[in-house]
Structure 1
């Protein structure tokens, strides 16, 4: 059984997932930008021939901005859902290839109880090991970021609504002042763009946090659903200023032996190692049962 080969394949999957982050972030930024264009349309609608919005139109502009709040939420949530579905499919495919390519298929067949004919298909083997269709496994993965509740009691939808609300309030405040000062729409549009950009770091945090959580959750779910693992090992990657990483929960978890399974090794169903902290770049390795090593 190639435990080392399997975990090397997991590392490659982790690297591929990380490499997708800039693309995902760009897509989410463009989705958010559609709401900004709505603001430009609202200003153009109420502006006079001199490109100035009359002061008596300020209340109407503020009311119409409420639609923008809903649009911000819908656009970024829809794009995130598409991204999670793509990422979940990539994780399922990567795990299937790792299973079929790195593990002893003959031994796995005995564990999974499937016919030799199915061994040629990685997805069949993965489905047999986890006891459910790969499509169901993938669907569960894609929904998990929305279902997880963080230590502060908030779910991802709560954070997305807060981003939409905060963005709209900031834009509304900017526009009220600009209309009162008699600024032209081109100047107001530049300020609105800055308001949207000022919250871009929150979108980047969500992309990093949730995509890498999805990767770790795929490995954790696989380990939990099969009977070929005795534990899951969290592997942390030091980064940041000296002494900073040591305070991260991933570092703490990776250097403890809480269950007597070895340093950083936890029972397959352990949840906390799947999401140690926001923007965590740790990954998970599998500790296989003795008969399969």
Structure 2
């Protein structure tokens, strides 16, 4: 097995390991952002009368107070995503460092790499023209609106606080797909960005190759990662790009593609 083949196998393996990590990160984010359900339960208890029911006359005031709930959603989401992005970047950089040392006996200067990755992911504009904080605000707003709609209906119907708390949990559970989409997208973007920046920082490769990794999706051939993986932009082979070609960092939301170095001839 050539050194290039050996690295290809290592990067494929660690991409699979990162996929498992991402699943755990999704669970963490859903749990952390879901702390808002406890905040809402406390708020409902404060508004309820002795009979455990909230009077209609208090509805508008309660709905206005949901603004603080949305702020909590944003804060919990921001804290969770920042931690996830940093974790993915740290792991990717360390894995590249270990792979280069094991296969090529080469070291990697990792000074400031993690922060460079975090800064990029936090400030990148996606296809919708939004940065990370915008996407967190949008997700928080949608969840808050769904909860407000449910509470309005429950209060008008005269439901008990206990029933309202259960309904809020159901509403939240129905919106967790948005959190999953956000976490998978940002975690994988941090992972690919860290790989590419680490390779660019190294002495062993001037080029990288993007490997599409979603052949089970029925419309995979329409995904940007598939298109990039089959594009020969620079006449060096399909899927080969410069490490700073940022479109390979996040080809599309929830993309599971990964990046491998294309070794210089002297390292083959």
Pairwise TM-score range, normalised by the shorter structure: over 0.9
Q: 1:238 to 1:165 in 2, by over 3 A?
A: closer
Q: Secondary structure at the match of 1:262?
A: coil
Q: Hey, what does 1:116 align to over in structure 2?
A: none
Q: Secondary structure at the match of 1:126?
A: coil
Q: Is the 8 A contact 2:214 2:256 kept in 1?
A: no
Alpha-carbon offset, residue 141 of structure 1: 2.1
* Deviations 1:107-135, CA, capped at 9 Å, x for gaps: x5xxxxxxxxxxxxxxxx211xxxxxx24
Q: Is the 8 A contact 1:87 1:142 kept in 2?
A: no
Which range moves more in the overlay, 15-24 or 233-242? 233-242
Q: Secondary structure at the match of 2:99?
A: helix
- In structure 1, how many angstroms separate the alpha carbons of the residues matched to 2:225 and 2:204? 24
Q: Hey, what does 2:42 align to over in structure 1?
A: 41
Q: Hey, what does 1:195 align to over in structure 2?
A: 171
For structure 2, the residue ranges without an aligned partner over 5 or more in a row are none
- In structure 2, how many angstroms separate the alpha carbons of the residues matched to 1:268 and 1:177? 52
Q: Secondary structure at the match of 1:286?
A: strand
Q: Hey, what does 2:108 align to over in structure 1?
A: 126
Q: Secondary structure at the match of 1:20?
A: helix
1:167 aligned to 2:143? yes
TM value normalised by structure 2: 0.94
**The structure with more radius of gyration:** 1
For structure 1, the residue ranges without an aligned partner over 5 or more in a row are 109-124, 128-133
- In structure 2, how many angstroms separate the alpha carbons of the residues matched to 1:144 and 1:201? 25
Q: Pick from 207, 217, 237 the counterpart of residue 262 of structure 1.
A: 237
Q: Hey, what does 2:131 align to over in structure 1?
A: 155
Q: Is the 8 A contact 1:229 1:268 kept in 2?
A: no
Q: State the number of aligned residues.
A: 267
Q: Is the 8 A contact 1:257 1:264 kept in 2?
A: yes
TM value normalised by structure 1: 0.86
Q: Secondary structure at the match of 1:256?
A: coil
Q: Hey, what does 2:161 align to over in structure 1?
A: 185
Q: Secondary structure at the match of 2:208?
A: strand
Q: Pick from 105, 111, 116 the counterpart of residue 140 of structure 1.
A: 116
